[in-house]
Amino acid sequence: MSLDSTSQKPKNDYSAITLKKIWHRGQYRIAAFFRWDDLKTRQQMKRLGARFSKTHKCWHLVYNKENYNLLEKHFDNLIIENLTDSKDNNRDNSNVKTSAQEERQHLSIAKDSERPLSHHEDAGNSAHKSEEHQIDPRLNLKVLDPVGKYWVLKMNYVQHYVKAIKKVKGVFWNKTHKAYMVYRHPNAKQKVEAIFGVPLFDDDYFFKQNFSKELNVEVFSYQHDERYAMLKFTKDFRLIDVLRRLNQSKYTKAENAYLLPATPKNLESLRLLLSDLEVKFTLHVKDDYFSRKKSINRKSEVLSNTKQRLLDMVPNHAKCYVEDMVNMLMALNYSNSTINSYTYAFTNFLIAHDYANPEQMDRKTVVKYLSKLSEYGLKSASGHMVVNALKFYYKHVLEWDDTQSWTIPRPKKEKTLPKVLSVDECRRIIEAVKQPKHKLILLLAYGAGLRVSEICNLRWSDIDFAEHKITVKSGKGKKDRLVMLPYSIIDYFNTYKELYGTANYVFEGQVKGQPYSPASCRSIMKRALKSARIDKKVNIHSLRHSFATHLLEGGTDIRFIQKLLGHNSIKTTTIYTHVSQNSTKNIESPLDRLSKNTENDSEN
């Protein structure tokens, strides 16, 4: 290839074509950038065999002498840009030009010029450069600071490397941080570095017995709520792992500490768990601060955690607005989910207006905010939640009457149908789950029509095995109701109780005595759908919809279905008539009738 100064054209030329060297699909390529509406150049590129890249938004050819000469022959308006430094070109596409002489020297490619040039990559903060080896630039490999007993490796997805690194013992993918965690062990280090061909990690191996950092835990009184003890501690993953797993413990951002109910049992458990770590344990309170009277029940714990989390979402100068909202919701005995939803919607409203005083906002400001939500594509349910939250704040917190609080417009609701599975699909989903606990959760969702929260909060005392009934306590709307206990799952309950032996809640989570989380139930359904090879976009709540629809198709009176589902209005239950097969299977389309008549006429 040869370039001279005459080939350089002004960049503002309408038909100018800028050539760059890029790394694409495992090899270097000549990228051509030009105006998207230049149809003539686009057609000519197609004739030369160039292909369009959606990633780089350009047309490209293999990086060799023949293709460059081909471009030079058919186009006289080429601009050569930044072809000397492939590393900078691939990362930030800088616009630094090289002289014609440098370009001519760099682009003098031999006949076998498709070999990649040496590419030295700095693999993160603690990685080392290698003069003998090169890292594939597609990876954009980075080594982050170690976390606990793991090195952290971040890279782009390249199938060859991903398959290799997954086979190394001690390496796993962290979905939350989107990075690979490499156990700090010599064998893991050797195998991972062999895959990439360069040294990546320091020799700071993890040895459980040797820690230089002294561990301290100090116990203080908690002024905001004397039922809790406040634990200040040395920032160390070993202590965090212990404190976060203590029953009813919670972390507060404001104090940068853990809170634990101040009961003698919790103090004893804390000392026992910390005894293996050689922790310096200091009490800054009297022994009588810990009392059995300070035990906290489940409802109080949930509401306290919700309030603390919601207050931590806003800065100090805006906490008064959120705290007033939460206090009023709790005073009116709203459910935890309603408190969370209303306050979260109200907080988003404050964030959008830089935490301004809501009392000083007018109707026009609120309408503009609702309009913006609709513009972002949010569904009407989100808009209704915002309207409900704002009306609650202005009516109950600020105590405005209907005249003062104006009329906030409500988004028009979409009339969507519930997503229902067929009987065969429900059978395949349940059969795809082998773990007894997970199978029983899905059986209850489909066999009794329970909501996810109702399954998680189900207690053994709520089940009457003699009468085959389940009492759902404090369901949606704080209502109790009775549902059937299917005969076919009695054996599953007996087997489950023998295996797990839970005392209070039927399904317990990681912490003994605490209920299973709704998120875990949703994950069970997600994996079951994948195993059963069902592509419908449904979730575990769809089993409840399927329960109602299949009862309706079986001839059950709709009013009985209403009671089983716990609906206030029959109108809510009648929606299942729209998805029932009975409503459409006996109706013949005029097109089918026309086709039959045409076939009969042809036979005659």
Residue range 498-508: average pLDDT? 89
Q: What is the pLDDT of residue 296?
A: 83
Report CA 158 to chain centroid distance, whole Å: 23
Digit-coded pLDDT (tens) for 511-522: 778 889 999 999
Residue 416: what are its φ and ψ, rounded to 5°? -95, 150
C-alpha to C-alpha distance for 334 and 336, rounded to whole angstroms = 7
Q: What is the pLDDT of residue 288?
A: 87
Q: Which of 65, 87, 227, 476 is catalytic?
A: 476
Q: Which of 228, 342, 496, 576 is catalytic?
A: 576
Residue range 134-151: average pLDDT? 85
Residue pair 540/456 in contact by the 8 Å Cβ criterion: no
Q: Place 346 in a pLDDT band, splitting at 50, 70 and 90.
A: very high
Residue range 103-122: average pLDDT? 37
Instruction: Report the interhelical angle of 336-352 vs 380-392 (nearest 10°).
Output: 90
Residue range 158-175: average pLDDT? 90
Kind of pairing, strands 27-33 and 58-62? antiparallel
Rounded percentage of the chain residues whose pLDDT exceeds 70? 85
Q: Which of 184, 189, 544, 545 is catalytic?
A: 544
Asked if residue 124 has pLDDT above 50, the reply is no
Q: How many residues does the chain have?
A: 604
Digit-coded pLDDT (tens) for 358-389: 888 888 888 888 888 888 888 888 888 888 99
Tokens in use for 47? 């004739």
Q: List, edge to edge, every strand of the sheet that includes 51-53.
A: 51-53, 58-62, 27-33, 17-24, 78-80
Neighbours of 231 (CB within 10 A): 21
- 576 catalytic per annotation: yes
Alpha helices in 353-468 (DSSP H): 363-375, 380-392, 423-432, 436-447, 452-456
Q: What is the pLDDT of residue 181?
A: 92
Digit-coded pLDDT (tens) for 408-436: 888 888 788 888 999 999 999 999 999 99
The dotted CATH code for 5-106 is 3.30.780
Q: Which of 451, 505, 516, 545 is catalytic?
A: 451
Q: Of 236-240, 268-272, 482-486, where does mean pLDDT reach its minimum? A: 236-240
Residue 362: what are its φ and ψ, rounded to 5°? -105, 180
Which CATH number fits the domain 216-296, given the four candidates 3.30.70.940, 3.40.50.720, 3.30.499.10, 3.40.1170.30? 3.40.1170.30
Nearest in space to 130 (alpha carbons), one of 62, 222, 198: 198
Q: What is the pLDDT of residue 192?
A: 92
- 476 catalytic per annotation: yes
Q: What is the pLDDT of residue 111?
A: 32
Residue range 541-566: average pLDDT? 91
Q: What is the pLDDT of residue 583?
A: 64
Are 300-397 and 423-582 the same fold in CATH? no
- 544 catalytic per annotation: yes
Asked if residue 7 has pLDDT above 50, the reply is no
Asked if residue 127 has pLDDT above 70, the reply is no
C-alpha to C-alpha distance for 519 and 533, rounded to whole angstroms = 21
Q: Assess if CATH 1.10.150.130 describes domain 300-397.
A: yes
Q: Is 533 left (phi over 0), alpha (psi -120 to 50) or beta?
A: left
Q: Place 507 in a pLDDT band, splitting at 50, 70 and 90.
A: very high
Q: Which of 106, 184, 189, 567 is catalytic?
A: 567
Digit-coded pLDDT (tens) for 179-202: 999 999 999 999 999 998 888 888
Structural class in CATH, domain 423-582: mainly alpha
Q: What is the pLDDT of residue 128?
A: 42
Q: What is the pLDDT of residue 252?
A: 85
Q: What integer best gives the mean pLDDT of the chain?
A: 81
- 541 catalytic per annotation: yes
Q: Of 10-19, 180-189, 343-352, 426-435, where does mean pLDDT reach its minimum? A: 10-19
Q: Place 82 in a pLDDT band, splitting at 50, 70 and 90.
A: low
Digit-coded pLDDT (tens) for 268-318: 888 888 887 888 889 999 888 999 888 888 788 888 888 888 888 888 888
Q: Of 121-125, 399-403, 462-466, where does mean pLDDT reach its minimum? A: 121-125
Q: Place 339 in a pLDDT band, splitting at 50, 70 and 90.
A: very high
Q: What is the pLDDT of residue 171?
A: 93
Q: Where are the domains of the chain?
A: 5-106, 216-296, 300-397, 423-582
In this predicted model, which residue has the larger pLDDT, 56 or 431? 431
Q: What is the pLDDT of residue 534?
A: 92
